[in-house]
Amino acid sequence: MIEADDFAINNTTNYLNNAAFGPVPESILNDTHAYLQEYSHNGPDSPFVKKEAYFEETRNAVAGLIGCSPEEVIFTQSITHGINIIAEGYSWKENDRIILRESSKEHVANFLPWLKIAKEKNLDLQITGSDEFGNPDLQKIELLMKEKPGGIVAIAHALYNLGTVLDVESIALLAKKYSYTVLVDAAQTVGCLPVNVKALGCDYMVFSGYKWLCAPPGIGILYISKETQKLINYYGMDVRILEAISDGVQVKLNFSNDDYTVKPGPYKFENGFRNYTGVVGLLKAIELLNRVGISEVAKKNKELIALTIQLLNDIPGVSILGVNDLAKRTSIVSFKIEGKKPSEIVAKLHNYRIVLAAREIGDESIIRISPHYYNTKEQIESCVNLIKEIIKQ
Ligand SMILES: Cc1ncc(COP(=O)(O)O)c(C=O)c1O
């Protein structure tokens, strides 16, 4: 369970913007600070400072969280970074097709890298429609795949603006049939809802530590299934990705003036000096989440969004966006207020240390509330009460 002061933020701020950034619990701030101090005081060559081992421990923890093997977990800097690794590294063939939903329903991070690569390599980018909640048109997707087998579908697991959880499993099934691979942007689900990557059936998945996992910023996660790792060409070179060979006496890296051998697994997608502190923070964040239990987290989040919707529904002039079925909603409730500008409402709430976000769906501005398990029903009530007051002003 969480310690009373883990989310000390609750003492000062009514923070309901977890879809943008999850606050780092005090215990994790302390753990990462202690690690950084130990590192700074000893340097990277000290036998007393744990470094690469933390990477592998954290890889195991991530694998446990999403139900894959550690060899399928790659640490990135951000979600965007992970998507770019796939878009830039994919072994594109001339006739490959990229299938996306329209840009208003996909985060730009999962749109622009595909647009860039399609332009550069002259690939066939197809934008499929979706309904008002963002649900993809599966029939259209199947037609597009059938018409031209081979390529990638990239899709959010849940919409950052409407909160709808999408049926990515059906897309993954279609993809297998027509030789496509699927990238799922799970920014808005991992850490908020139980997510099992094998059950989703996708080939690549991206998410970050800094949103629903409440880890420090600067760490993203890219899952690439073992079966598809050979399809992704890596860029960048680093001693850490070289195979090590032993002659029985000495261990040395397998490279010469003419050639080198890269070790298998996730390492070739990571290079340079590592974010050791971020990885320690991510490990501690997953451990904390595991102590609470992701089912408990999801249950609490559903209660909070149910209350949010119920209270907002009672305010004249407020229209709530997104699906009614809470099973198909992540912990995001977006709404509009007749005659009011979202950015102004959000700014006014901020003056009272209530933190929401102004976002958009296409050209339309919206207000987004995204509570997490450490938030309370009282916080939702006081936020909605203040919205009522502000509307009257
Ligand atoms: C659905 C979704 N995808 C991608 C991103 C981009 O994340 P990052 O800044 O880590 O690349 C966000 C950030 O809000 C997001 O909500």
Q: How many CB atoms lie within 10 A of CB 189?
A: 25
Could you give the percent of the chain with pLDDT greater than 90? 86
Query: What confidence tier does 205 reach under pLDDT thresholds 50, 70, 90?
Result: very high
What confidence tens digit (pLDDT) does each residue in 58-74 have? Answer: 999 999 999 999 999 99
Residue 166 tokens, joined: 């999408």
Examine the domain organization and report whether 243 and 317 are in the same domain: no
> What's the average model confidence in pLDDT over 194-213?
98
| Burial of 358 (C-beta count, 10 Å sphere; 0-12/13-18/19+) | middle
pLDDT winner (highest mean) among 48-52, 215-219, 272-276: 215-219
Give the distance (Å) from ligand 1 centre to CA of residue 292.
25
> What's the average model confidence in pLDDT over 66-83?
97
Give the distance (Å) from ligand 1 centre to CA of residue 75.
15
pLDDT attached to residue 50: 86
pLDDT attached to residue 273: 83
Closest atom of ligand 1 to CA, residue 156: 1
The CATH number of the domain where 305 resides is what? 3.90.1150.10
Residue 345 CA to residue 367 CA, distance in Å, equals: 8
pLDDT higher than threshold 80 for residue 40:
yes
Examine the domain organization and report whether 119 and 267 are in the same domain: yes
Examine the domain organization and report whether 239 and 316 are in the same domain: no
Bridge partner residues of 262 (DSSP): 242
Question: Which domain does 201 fall in, by range?
Answer: 27-290
Is 215 inside a domain boundary? yes
Three-state DSSP state, 319: strand
Examine the domain organization and report whether 363 and 308 are in the same domain: yes
Task: Tell me if 364 sits within 8 A of 293, measured CB to CB.
Answer: no
pLDDT attached to residue 1: 64
Residues with C-beta less than 6 Å from any ligand 1 atom: 78-80, 107, 109-110, 156, 160, 185, 187-188, 208, 220
Is 246 inside a domain boundary? yes
Residue nearest to atom 14 of ligand 1 (CA): 20
Residue 115 CA to residue 275 CA, distance in Å, equals: 29
The four Cα atoms 359, 134, 116, 182 give a dihedral, to 10 degrees, of: 130
Give the distance (Å) from ligand 1 centre to CA of residue 109.
6
pLDDT higher than threshold 70 for residue 144:
yes
Is 213 inside a domain boundary? yes
Give the distance (Å) from ligand 1 centre to CA of residue 197.
18
Is 6 inside a domain boundary? no
Residue 109 CA to residue 113 CA, distance in Å, equals: 7
Interacting residues of 283 by C-beta distance below 8 A, sequence separation 6+? 54, 57, 58, 61
> What's the average model confidence in pLDDT over 90-100?
96
Mutate which of 21, 77, 79, 184 for ligand 1 pocket (most atoms within 8 A of beta carbon): 79
pLDDT higher than threshold 90 for residue 83:
yes
Could you give the percent of the chain with pLDDT greater than 70? 99
Query: What confidence tier does 48 reach under pLDDT thresholds 50, 70, 90?
Result: confident
Examine the domain organization and report whether 36 and 180 are in the same domain: yes
Conformation bin of residue 91: beta by default, left when phi > 0, alpha when psi is -120 to 50: beta
Closest atom of ligand 1 to CA, residue 83: 11
What confidence tens digit (pLDDT) does each residue in 322-351 have? Answer: 999 999 999 999 999 999 999 999 999 999
DSSP 57-90: HHHHHHHHHHTS-GGGEEEESSHHHHHHHHHHHB
Three-state DSSP state, 171: helix
pLDDT attached to residue 4: 64
Query: What confidence tier does 197 reach under pLDDT thresholds 50, 70, 90?
Result: very high
Task: Tell me if 207 sits within 8 A of 198, measured CB to CB.
Answer: no
Bridge partner residues of 370 (DSSP): 17
Mutate which of 208, 275, 330, 332 for ligand 1 pocket (most atoms within 8 A of beta carbon): 208
Structural Rg of the chain based on CA atoms: 22
Candidate from 92-106, 236-250, 370-384 with smallest mean pLDDT: 236-250
Residue 277 CA to residue 283 CA, distance in Å, equals: 10
Examine the domain organization and report whether 248 and 186 are in the same domain: yes
> Of the candidates 276, 222, 268, 215, which has an alpha carbon nearest to the alpha carbon of residue 55?
276
Query: What confidence tier does 47 reach under pLDDT thresholds 50, 70, 90?
Result: confident
> What's the average model confidence in pLDDT over 355-384?
97
Examine the domain organization and report whether 238 and 326 are in the same domain: no
Q: What backbone phi and psi angles, to 5 degrees, belong to 237?
A: -135, 150
- Boundary (domain end) residue, out of 257, 290, 323: 290
The CATH number of the domain where 273 resides is what? 3.40.640.10
> Of the candidates 77, 66, 136, which has an alpha carbon nearest to the alpha carbon of residue 101?
136
> What's the average model confidence in pLDDT over 177-189?
98
Is 3 inside a domain boundary? no
Residue 160 CA to residue 172 CA, distance in Å, equals: 21
Average predicted confidence (pLDDT) for the chain: 95
Mutate which of 75, 105, 160 for ligand 1 pocket (most atoms within 8 A of beta carbon): 160
Three-state DSSP state, 93: coil
Give the distance (Å) from ligand 1 centre to CA of residue 80.
7
Is 109 inside a domain boundary? yes
> Of the candidates 137, 52, 46, which has an alpha carbon nearest to the alpha carbon of residue 99?
137
Is 77 inside a domain boundary? yes
Exposure class string for 312-330: b at 16+ Cβ within 10 A, else e:
beebeebeebbbeebebbb
- Boundary (domain end) residue, out of 223, 257, 290: 290
Examine the domain organization and report whether 323 and 269 are in the same domain: no
Examine the domain organization and report whether 228 and 313 are in the same domain: no
- Which is more confident, 249 or 210? 210
The total number of structural domains that make up the chain: 2
Conformation bin of residue 150: beta by default, left when phi > 0, alpha when psi is -120 to 50: left
- Boundary (domain end) residue, out of 222, 255, 290: 290
- Locate all alpha helices (DSSP H) within the chain, ordered by sequence: 26-42, 52-66, 79-89, 112-121, 138-147, 168-177, 197-200, 276-292, 294-313, 342-351, 377-392
Start-to-end C-alpha separation, the chain: 41
Give the distance (Å) from ligand 1 centre to CA of residue 248.
47
Task: Tell me if 198 sits within 8 A of 342, measured CB to CB.
Answer: no
Residue 359 tokens, joined: 């976002």
Give the distance (Å) from ligand 1 centre to CA of residue 81.
10
Examine the domain organization and report whether 51 and 170 are in the same domain: yes
Candidate from 106-115, 194-203, 239-248, 322-331 with smallest mean pLDDT: 239-248
Is 8 inside a domain boundary? no
Q: What backbone phi and psi angles, to 5 degrees, belong to 190?
A: -65, 125
pLDDT attached to residue 271: 84
Examine the domain organization and report whether 124 and 213 are in the same domain: yes
pLDDT higher than threshold 70 for residue 128:
yes
Examine the domain organization and report whether 225 and 308 are in the same domain: no
Q: Residue 305 to residues 62, 267, 338: CA-CA distances in angstroms?
A: 26, 39, 21
**Residue whose entry in the numeric block shows the structure tokens 């969280």:** 65
Query: What confidence tier does 291 reach under pLDDT thresholds 50, 70, 90?
Result: very high
pLDDT attached to residue 224: 98
